[in-house]
Structure 1
Amino acid sequence: MTTAPTPGGPRFRFAPSPTGSFHVGGARTALHNWALARRLGGTFVLRIEDTDEARNRPEWTQGIIDALAWIGISADDDHFEGPHFQSANAEAHVAAAQRLFESGAAYYCDLTGQEVQDRAKELGITGYDGYSRDRGLEPAPGRVLRFRVPDGTTVVNDAVRGDVSFENSTIEDFVLLRGNGSPMFLLANVVDDIEMSITDVVRAEEHLPNTPKQQMLWSALGETPPRWAHVPVLVNEQRKKLSKRRDKVALESYRDDGILPDAMVNYLMTLGWTPPGAEEAGSEIFSWDALEAAFDLSAVAHSPAFFDIKKLVAFNKQYIKNLPLDEFLAAVDADLPADWDRQRFAAIAPHIMERLERLGDAPGLVDFLFLGDDVDPELDQAAWDKAVKPEWAASFLSDVTEAYAELGDGEWTDETLKSTMESLMVPYEIKLGKAQALPRVAVTGRAVGPPLFEAMDVMGRAETVRRLRGAVTRLEASSAPD
């Protein structure tokens, strides 16, 4: 049950960078934060981390906002705050760095990157050796500001993974300010979280190695670190982390392919987490309200989650099947050619909804209904050859054609069409599945599609009989002697 935002309630943040399309992994993380913020009476803070000027684009920022809205995370909700932009807080980042320097928690270093590498090679170590810790350098162009990592152990209490310990001796004195004075991501991230009063950081496990550094920064700045939670990353069939270079990861591409937002949300929420009762119910299909009410970070699996596109499509098929007709028609309308008769499509729609895997598949399933009266159906030659193969096929098609031609307009219903064909089947001693094969190809141009009798009912008597007679003529011409 959603709880209204309360003053002092938990504050969750989602902080994507506008450097490309919206990753499905980011969408899952956003949903986790959204579910918790709403259920606990907290706030979902959207912060755009836009300090990478070389890669940022305004359209990517809008893409993030649009993608979040598509999966139900909307600025219209009272639990939503933002977007805030990290670039607008640059002065605070530098000021925090100065405080760390003045307190002795950070120091300046004049070694170049190459010099750091040369020293590491000479000493037989990896990374920076703390060379400038006690040199007392003041700020100057080209000098970086490094954090003085304390001795001891840093323990990160993680809501998913429990206590995770990091030996500080394995963490080098990391850079806070570059040689040009610009802040590094770690510093900016922590300062923004502090200034926005973030209480909970829920993100992908790939960020876990940075967490002890961020926790140190929180403490050095005199603040209590947030509650941490690192959820497993998403992987492909080869169990490799999803990559923009080799995998389909853009949320927008799935939206454009005809995946329903509710199906995507349901699927993403169940990656690495199983809602209570799912096993007993034998289904992972849950409403958002049920998912929100049940989501529990402590029940999230530790292992990577396989992003199975086939399973996502199966979710989508179930959601399409269960859509109210008016919602289905609205959802699929953009995929239909502009000149298609919407009333005719609405008549066939109930008969194809359970067969669709994606909304975009709808036009190809029913396009035969929208051929002009002067255009013969475009026959699938392989389907035609198979359908006419039985020796009784031509005779049976002729019988069906004449029987249908004699039906009055008032008799033209799917029930009558079916019963008429069933009566004609008796002398041929065939079953309905075989009996439909040739008439289906003759009318629809393919071997599979929506239910035949319902399709012919929507098509109407005149066009159906015209196509059947065209097929009979074709058969007669092919069997005539040369």
Structure 2
Amino acid sequence: MTLTTRFAPSPTGYLHVGGARTALYSWLYAKKNGGDFILRIEDTDLERSTQESVDAIMDGMNWLNLEWTQGPFYQTKRFDRYKEVIAQLIESGNAYRCYCTPEEVETMREEARAKGEKEKYNGMWRERTDWPEDKPFVIRFKNPLDGDVVISDQVKGEIVISNQELDDLIIARSDGSPTYNLTVVVDDWDMGVTHVVRGDDHVNNTPRQINILKALGAPLPEYAHIPMILGDDGKRLSKRHGAVSVMQYRDDGYLPEALLNYLVRLGWSHGDQEIFSRDEMIELFDLTGCNRAPSAFNTDKLIWVNQHYMKTLAPEYVAEHLAWHMQDQGIDTETGPALADIVKVQADRVKTLKEMASISSYFYQDFTEFDEKAAKKHLRPVAQQPLEVVKAKLTALENWVAEDIHSAINATAEELELGMGKVGMPLRVAATGAGNSPSLDVTLELLPREKVIARIDMALAVIAERIANS
């Protein structure tokens, strides 16, 4: 039998970080074992499910490059199959009609609570057949009354749940629509899922699903329940902690490799290793290496991982992702240096691609004014002569290359008997509009000579105006 895992999100929102980590772990386990990875869209919540959310899930999976081998399957297209299984359970005596109103069930729970007993439905209609006419009913699964459900969880170890703790859960609503625990069981059975990897908020559902599988004579998958992700404050990760949508991390300037690497370590470890290539993740990952305790999200650690990948991945590849941010910020890169060259000179100076795009706009866009603080500090009357001299030397260069540009700047400083900063900083502000840039010679090489000269002239005009007004 082929090892098969699945990722089964509900399309009621974006693909969040916790879901992405579950998808990653499921994908890795399938890849490691040469198995199948299924994408299943659990869209039976018709009121809350939206096509926009489906698209967001697909976008997140595709951006992370977590390719599925089967699917996507949609539960709303399988209602006939669910009805068939529900009928089978009724026929075999493993399910029954329940005519209790919600108010009656709540009364049962309150009475149990008053007695200090488990709050649950009391099985009132479990054996009855005196069904009233024209009264709505639900279908309940007839859960075993005795014995235990034993879950050999690959993360949490053995979990034992007494059947007396479980009530007869509803598997079909009064309108005939199936409920979550029924659809999941049928899908996992029909799709040959051998390993269910999901968040530990599903632990309470697992014994119920196992009992339904047993009643159907279906094989039981292995289970692995992954602890939740917490924020830095120890509370469950949510919007108040910042970006929680996968695509928000794309928008904020993170590489998919960085997010995947961070997520794989957020609840799993292999010695002290921090950086894992995709191939290493597949080779080394194992469910038994997952932590049993929740993990805390640390944005500073994610930034560190992102910086590593910006600096070490092929510049041409990083440039493909940088292009999105350039476009998002309205920067036309058709005229100007290749984006891979920008990556080479900026990667070790920024935290994110969004920041890289923002500080690199001067390579592609002209500016009409200089940064106020930088101009006040460096475009002073004393900078007039250094800028005029270096302009002449740059204009006269035969080859517009970093080495010759560096020599021209050096020669200006020597000729005027000035420190390099007295020449370099005014020139940097002139060429870039601000006081920060990569190495000045490399920065100028990436700019057209005529643009550099024109910007020096603009800086000289600012200095002249200051002299006139002093």
2:164 corresponds to: 169
- Counting only pairs closer than 5 Å after superposition, residues 316-327 of structure 1 correspond to structure 2 as 316-327=306-317
Aligned partner of residue 204 in structure 2, secondary structure: helix
1:205 corresponds to: 200
User: For the structure 1 residues 316 and 113, does the alpha-carbon distance in structure 2 shift closer, same or farther, using more than 3 Å as the test?
Assistant: same
1:368 corresponds to: 362
1:281 corresponds to: none
TM score, norm. by length of structure 1: 0.86
Given the alignment of the two structures, is residue 382 of structure 1 paired with residue 396 of structure 2, yes or no?
A: no
Quote how far apart the aligned CAs of 1:457 are: 2.3
Kindly provide the amino acid, as one letter, of the partner of residue 330 in structure 1.
E
2:404 corresponds to: 416
User: For the structure 1 residues 231 and 397, does the alpha-carbon distance in structure 2 shift closer, same or farther, using more than 3 Å as the test?
Assistant: farther
Tell me the distance in 1 between the aligned counterparts of 2:241 and 2:315: 37
Kindly provide the amino acid, as one letter, of the partner of residue 370 in structure 2.
L
TM score, norm. by length of structure 2: 0.88
Quote how far apart the aligned CAs of 1:325 are: 3.3
Deviations 1:136-174 (A, max 9, x none): 455964222222332232221100010012233322222
Given the alignment of the two structures, is residue 186 of structure 1 paired with residue 181 of structure 2, yes or no?
A: yes
Quote how far apart the aligned CAs of 1:236 are: 1.8
Aligned partner of residue 176 in structure 1, secondary structure: strand
Return the match for 2:304 from 303, 314, 323.
Answer: 314
2:279 corresponds to: 289
Given that residues 7 and 38 in structure 2 are in contact (C-alpha distance below 8 angstroms), is that contact kept between their aligned partners in structure 1?
yes
User: For the structure 1 residues 443 and 211, does the alpha-carbon distance in structure 2 shift closer, same or farther, using more than 3 Å as the test?
Assistant: same
Identity %: 33
RMSD over equivalenced CA pairs, Å: 2.8
2:265 corresponds to: 270
Aligned partner of residue 236 in structure 2, secondary structure: coil
Aligned partner of residue 107 in structure 1, secondary structure: strand
Given the alignment of the two structures, is residue 53 of structure 1 paired with residue 46 of structure 2, yes or no?
A: yes
After alignment, is 169-178 or 208-217 more displaced?
169-178
Tell me the distance in 2 between the aligned counterparts of 1:183 and 1:481: 80
Tell me the distance in 1 between the aligned counterparts of 2:171 and 2:54: 26
Aligned partner of residue 120 in structure 1, secondary structure: helix
Given that residues 155 and 165 in structure 1 are in contact (C-alpha distance below 8 angstroms), is that contact kept between their aligned partners in structure 2?
yes
Deviations 1:296-347 (A, max 9, x none): 1111011222233332233222222223233233333342446444453445
Kindly provide the amino acid, as one letter, of the partner of residue 312 in structure 1.
L
Note the residue ranges of structure 1 that are not aligned, 5 or more in a row.
Answer: 1-7, 279-283
Tell me the distance in 1 between the aligned counterparts of 2:311 and 2:241: 31
1:70 corresponds to: 63
Tell me the distance in 2 between the aligned counterparts of 1:148 and 1:184: 15
Note the residue ranges of structure 2 that are not aligned, 5 or more in a row.
Answer: none
1:231 corresponds to: 226
User: For the structure 1 residues 317 and 148, does the alpha-carbon distance in structure 2 shift closer, same or farther, using more than 3 Å as the test?
Assistant: same
Tell me the distance in 2 between the aligned counterparts of 1:58 and 1:189: 21
Given that residues 6 and 196 in structure 2 are in contact (C-alpha distance below 8 angstroms), is that contact kept between their aligned partners in structure 1?
yes
Deviations 1:370-428 (A, max 9, x none): 344xx64x21112223336xxxx643552243134134231543233334444555699
Aligned partner of residue 344 in structure 1, secondary structure: coil
1:129 corresponds to: 122
2:294 corresponds to: 304
1:27 corresponds to: 20
Tell me the distance in 2 between the aligned counterparts of 1:457 and 1:295: 45
- Counting only pairs closer than 5 Å after superposition, residues 337-416 of structure 1 correspond to structure 2 as 337=330, 339-346=332-339, 347-372=341-366, 376=368, 378-387=369-378, 394-396=381-383, 398-407=385-394, 408-410=396-398, 412-416=400-404
Given that residues 4 and 36 in structure 2 are in contact (C-alpha distance below 8 angstroms), is that contact kept between their aligned partners in structure 1?
yes
Kindly provide the amino acid, as one letter, of the partner of residue 288 in structure 2.
S
Tell me the distance in 2 between the aligned counterparts of 1:343 and 1:112: 70
Given that residues 398 and 472 in structure 1 are in contact (C-alpha distance below 8 angstroms), is that contact kept between their aligned partners in structure 2?
no
Given the alignment of the two structures, is residue 106 of structure 1 paired with residue 99 of structure 2, yes or no?
A: no
User: For the structure 1 residues 397 and 341, does the alpha-carbon distance in structure 2 shift closer, same or farther, using more than 3 Å as the test?
Assistant: farther
Given that residues 9 and 42 in structure 2 are in contact (C-alpha distance below 8 angstroms), is that contact kept between their aligned partners in structure 1?
yes
Kindly provide the amino acid, as one letter, of the partner of residue 90 in structure 1.
F
User: For the structure 1 residues 299 and 328, does the alpha-carbon distance in structure 2 shift closer, same or farther, using more than 3 Å as the test?
Assistant: closer
Tell me the distance in 2 between the aligned counterparts of 1:462 and 1:88: 63
Kindly provide the amino acid, as one letter, of the partner of residue 154 in structure 1.
V
Tell me the distance in 1 between the aligned counterparts of 2:20 and 2:179: 25
1:5 corresponds to: none
Given that residues 17 and 246 in structure 2 are in contact (C-alpha distance below 8 angstroms), is that contact kept between their aligned partners in structure 1?
yes
Kindly provide the amino acid, as one letter, of the partner of residue 380 in structure 1.
D
Quote how far apart the aligned CAs of 1:40 are: 1.0
Aligned residues: 459
